[in-house]
Amino acid sequence: MLLLANAGARPLRAAARAVSPCLWGGKHFSSGKEPVENSPATPMLQHLVYKIKSTGPITVAEYMKEVLTNPVKGYYVHRDMLGEKGDFITSPEISQIFGELLGIWFISEWMATGKSATFQLVELGPGRGTLAGDILRVFSQLGSVLKKCDISIHLVEVSQKLSEIQALTLTEEKVPLERDAESPVYMKGVTKSGIPVSWYRDLQDVPKEHSFYVAHEFFDVLPVHKFQKTPQGWREVLIDIDPQVSDKLRFVLAPCATPAEAFIQHDETRDHVEVCPEAGVIIQELSQRIALTGGAALIADYGHDGTKTDTFRGFCGHKLHDVLIAPGTADLTADVDFSYLRRMAQGTVASLGPIKQQTFLKNMGIDVRLKVLLDKSTEPSLRQQLLQGYDMLMNPKKMGERFNFFALLPHQRLHARSHEINANHSKPSPSPVAGFSELTWQ
């Protein structure tokens, strides 16, 4: 992904808010290419201007949270933003192979950890339900392997619009859905293959049972705090109203330290960093659950291992979009810092990755699966679609090297095969984890 803004790289001029010149002085950050005309006065922009006038400049994290998930005007809450007609497209929408290989990964891990009697598949931010649907198709095809396992699906979704689309994708509403807006489980149904599926707004409401978690392009939309290193130390990047244009937003630097600065590492060498406390909370919750009840978490997203600086950007109509222009009409995102996720696991569980999507999918056997599908396909248009999807997923210049996979597993998963010790009582050898090494069936 290309960067839209380079906040902090080129301070333009000192500026202060007229209402509070001493408190809110700071340097002005460019939000990207300066528009010729003013930002459209969207309902979200009007809401933010009123908020800033009332309480002062807001953090980038607060801005992201309002723009994306505000219950009334939030970008994610009342629209379907996925697919060719939306603002962005994800791997599961590009090729069925992606979800199928993730389904194989979860079955492989379930087998490697003793084939538990229960199998909760929990997806964070399920999009249209396409990924879960592809995974469930694999489960059905390998029904003989899972026949004695009690499988259930648990979807964590804040968008009412998307939850309805997910329900249609997964259940086709052959069995009427149960709805209770006041309950932590606000919707229940049964998938086309007869598996129970439940919807939640918060991960903490999902039952703490033996679970396998998947988060695909979920962490990149969680709110980030942005910081710039200055001669006076770290200063948080805030969002304020431009004093020259009353309905235009701009970046400024806080005049003194802010509470979120506590999340910056003492030995940080970059001059600009983004931190996501909410991601840390979720990783800690996942880690504690996996350590307590077993299972694993697989995270797929674009990101870095603690090396990038300013990655905050917007997407609208599949094109980069200035993050401060027409808020509420475009997706906002920032690269995931996998080194931060690793730290937040705090040793409670083991972690693997990040590794490039190209490597992960190749290890999972994407080439073999593509060949099988091509051999079965007689329609030229379908063959072309399969090849184009493969290229999008694997090409280093497309998704192949921009997306990464990262896993959380119980420590014992990496230290030994499931209680396998040979006759000489030698130290058991580690069991390979599919995707992070070549897939092997045992």
| DSSP secondary structure letters along 32-94 | SSPPSSPPP--HHHHHHHHHHHHH--EEHHHHHHHHHH-TTT-TTTS---BSTTSSB--HHHH
Give the C-alpha separation, 351 to 341, whole Å: 9
Q: In this structure, are residues 309 and 273 in contact, taking their beta carbons and an 8 Å threshold?
A: yes
Give the C-alpha separation, 27 to 188, whole Å: 50
List Cα–Cα distances, 345 to 109, 252, 284, 308, in angstroms: 19, 32, 6, 21
pLDDT tens digit at each of 442 positions of the chain: 323 233 332 222 223 332 222 233 333 344 444 443 455 689 999 999 999 999 999 999 999 999 999 988 888 876 655 545 544 577 888 899 999 999 999 999 999 999 999 999 999 999 999 999 999 999 999 999 998 899 999 999 998 889 999 999 999 876 789 999 999 999 999 999 999 999 999 999 999 999 999 999 999 999 999 999 999 999 999 999 999 998 899 999 999 999 999 999 999 999 999 999 999 999 999 999 999 999 999 999 999 999 999 999 999 887 899 999 999 999 999 999 999 999 999 999 999 999 999 999 999 999 999 999 999 998 999 999 999 999 999 999 999 999 999 999 999 998 754 444 444 444 455 579 999 998 765 5
List Cα–Cα distances, 286 to 4, 268, 354, in angstroms: 32, 26, 17
Give the C-alpha separation, 214 to 141, whole Å: 20
Structure tokens at 1: 């992904």
Map out the domains of the chain with their CATH numbers. Answer: 62-224+276-411 (3.40.50.12710)
Does an H or E element contain 408, and which? Answer: strand 403-409
Q: What is the pTM of this model?
A: 0.87
| DSSP secondary structure letters along 265-331 | -TT---SEEEE-HHHHHHHHHHHHHHHHH-EEEEEEEEEESS------EEEETTEEE-TTSSTTSSE
Give the C-alpha separation, 154 to 166, whole Å: 12
